[in-house]
Amino acid sequence: MLHSLSKFAQACLVFALSTIGHASAIDTVRGADHACAQCHKGIYRSYIETTMANASGPAINAAVPGAFTQASSGITYRIKIENGNVLLTYKRAGNPSLSGQYRLQYFFGSGRQGTSFIYSRDDYLFEAPLSYYAAKSSYDLRPGYLQAKEMPSALPLNSQCLICHMSGVRKEDSGTVNHYSGPPFLHGGITCEACHGDTTAHVLHHGKGGLLVLSKLGPLERDSICLRCHLESETSVARRGKSLLDFKSGDRLSDDVSYFIYTGEQGSTGRAVSQVEALAMSECKRSSGGRMSCTTCHDPHSTPAPSERSSYYRAKCLACHSQPLFASSHYSNVPDCTICHMPKSSTSDIPHAQVTDHRILRTQQEGEHAPEAQPADHDRTLMPVPGIGERPSVRSFGLAFYKVGLKGDPDAMKNAWDLLQKALQGNPNDSEVLSALGFIARLRGDVTQSAEFLEKGYQVDPANVYVANDVGVLLASSGKLNQAEIVWKELFARNQDLVDLGDNLALLQCQLGEKSAASETLQRVLQFSPDHQATRQLLARIQSGDKRCISSNASHGEIPAPTENHVQ
């Protein structure tokens, strides 16, 4: 009867116009970095045209009017622009009927592949359920919801999702998934400071010093600047008490976060990989080591114009491949080296995967013989992404196995169990480790041990949303309904937009005979996720005086998975 919170990451939608978010006052790179234009006019002008400078901003800068009807749900979605506001309306005639609207506040994605939108309600931040798809030049629902029968429930956005598309990103309020008492970020797009660090002293002293000199950094620190946003990997784990929000230019990425891939995946492009991983496989990079980086070919301040693209990249190749052969006779009828060695995939419309093949293969046939998408079972062990810093800790390895375990790799949980027990010996108060161990213990059927881990985790960090939810699940499933209600009520007070949490709490309240409290909880859930059928049905049942407290939601008692940051 208890539902998992694991749908945090998939959930989606609704905004009432009356609710005023923090939104509007955000600045884009144009404004934020205007001070630099005084003295660095050329760089400023070219930079503001790049996709990085336009990676996000006010919704009005990117939205175009449009509409579509989703056949499976019968809902018509419409984007319209009124008095400078971007409105998303939704409407379904018939039973169950539905209608409403949100004001979209921000966009993210410069639009090369697509654009997503953000709205907020009561200071909770959400991703809109639809995106604009460049390939189709039209709107459609987010991937994963294309066949949905109901409007997706609200999709919470945490700071980890904003961190690569926005600048000056703030952490969500403690104990919440996506509630921000202040602005969630300061600037749309990626500002100069995102790479150059704090420039206050530099501007104050009219350009005399006061800056981190990026070209003098060591290879790991230099590469970290691009990698923190361009490395996807299979899974990543922040060091204890750290997150990507702590990263500053000049730091080593591996001091904050560790990145993992499957051993058998090395050299394959089965999973959609990022440019970083692909380049690492190239003979160019492997033979050049630290001499080669993203900036060997890319000027972070500008994108070559289409007419210069071919000669621009050719010059980059020839700078290393300086043998006269390449400049003169090697396929000289095709001046663009990248056509053969770095072709574009025709099918890739997945955000966060490379379009251009950064493996720089000799011939594409060699690429086709690369290992298959699904590595053999014996290769499903994790290794750190090579070449980006120190070896991850036992804790990071353990949590990485746990995270891939949650994605459905059963063997991974065995590794996670052993590694995390070891990690716990070093730090008995590590709530993330305790939370993971509590989950795995339950999977192993040991409820007592699971309770020990979770209760300890809750004690040391009551703000940990996942631990608190799991403690509630544990109490409820062992019949301690009153105690479970206390824990969930407190959690729900801070996270009123979490559908599964709200449904769980309402069921519990129903079972305890608190019908009006249960109704209130469900009504609150429906303000965020108005078309969530399980919630609607439960509410209707309670209001009709039905004594049975049951829900049609089928995901019995699963324990929640932490939010995955990356969308596919």
**Residue for token pair 């990117």:** 62
> What is the closest distance, in whole angstroms, from the C-beta atom of residue 185 to ligand HEC in the complex?
11
Residue 405 to residue 205: CA distance in whole angstroms: 52
Closest CA to 473 of 487, 456, 463, 459: 487
Binding range to ligand HEC, per CB under 6 A, among 198-206, 368-376, 475-483, 511-519: 198-206
Interaction mask 346-385, ligand HEC, x per CB under 6 A: -----xx-xxx-x-xxxx----------------------
Decide if residue 303 touches ligand HEC (CB under 6 A). yes
Site for ligand HEC in 9-28 (CB under 6 A): none
> What is the closest distance, in whole angstroms, from the C-beta atom of residue 214 to ligand HEC in the complex?
4
Looking at residue 222, its amino acid is R
Beta carbon nearer to ligand HEC, 149 or 330? 330
Decide if residue 165 touches ligand HEC (CB under 6 A). yes
Binding range to ligand HEC, per CB under 6 A, among 61-69, 338-346, 416-424, 501-509: 338-346
Binding range to ligand HEC, per CB under 6 A, among 283-291, 392-400, 416-424, 430-438: 283-291
Closest CA to 559 of 2, 136, 23, 1: 2
Q: Which of 49, 82, 122, 283 binds ligand HEC (CB under 6 A)?
A: 283
Decide if residue 322 touches ligand HEC (CB under 6 A). no
> What is the closest distance, in whole angstroms, from the C-beta atom of residue 142 to ligand HEC in the complex?
8
Interaction mask 495-534, ligand HEC, x per CB under 6 A: ----------------------------------------
Sequence-distant (6+) residues with CB within 8 A of 108 are: 55, 56, 115, 116, 117, 118, 162, 165, 166
Decide if residue 202 touches ligand HEC (CB under 6 A). yes
- Reported as type and span, the H/E element at residue 292 is none
> What is the closest distance, in whole angstroms, from the C-beta atom of residue 42 to ligand HEC in the complex?
8
**3-class secondary-structure state, position 89:** strand
Decide if residue 163 touches ligand HEC (CB under 6 A). yes
Q: Which of 86, 148, 190, 273 binds ligand HEC (CB under 6 A)?
A: 190
Kindly give the residue spans of alpha helices, DSSP state H, lying in 289-443. Answer: 294-297, 309-320, 324-328, 337-341, 364-368, 394-406, 410-426, 431-443
Interaction mask 25-64, ligand HEC, x per CB under 6 A: --------x-xx-xxx--xx--x---xx--x---------
The values of phi and psi at residue 554, to 5°, are: -90, -10
Residue 495 to residue 502: CA distance in whole angstroms: 9
Beta carbon nearer to ligand HEC, 357 or 500? 357
> What is the closest distance, in whole angstroms, from the C-beta atom of residue 126 to ligand HEC in the complex?
11
E-assigned strand segments in 339-390: 382-384
The CB-nearest residue to ligand HEC is 207
How far CA 42 is from CA of 45, 48, 210, 297, 389, in Å, comes to: 5, 10, 21, 19, 34
**3-class secondary-structure state, position 12:** coil
CB 124 within 8 A of CB 496: yes
Interaction mask 212-251, ligand HEC, x per CB under 6 A: -xxx---------xx-xxx---------------------
56-58 vs 27-28, strand pairing mode = unpaired
Decide if residue 415 touches ligand HEC (CB under 6 A). no
Q: Count the site residues for ligand HEC by CB under 6 A.
A: 93
CB 249 within 8 A of CB 369: no
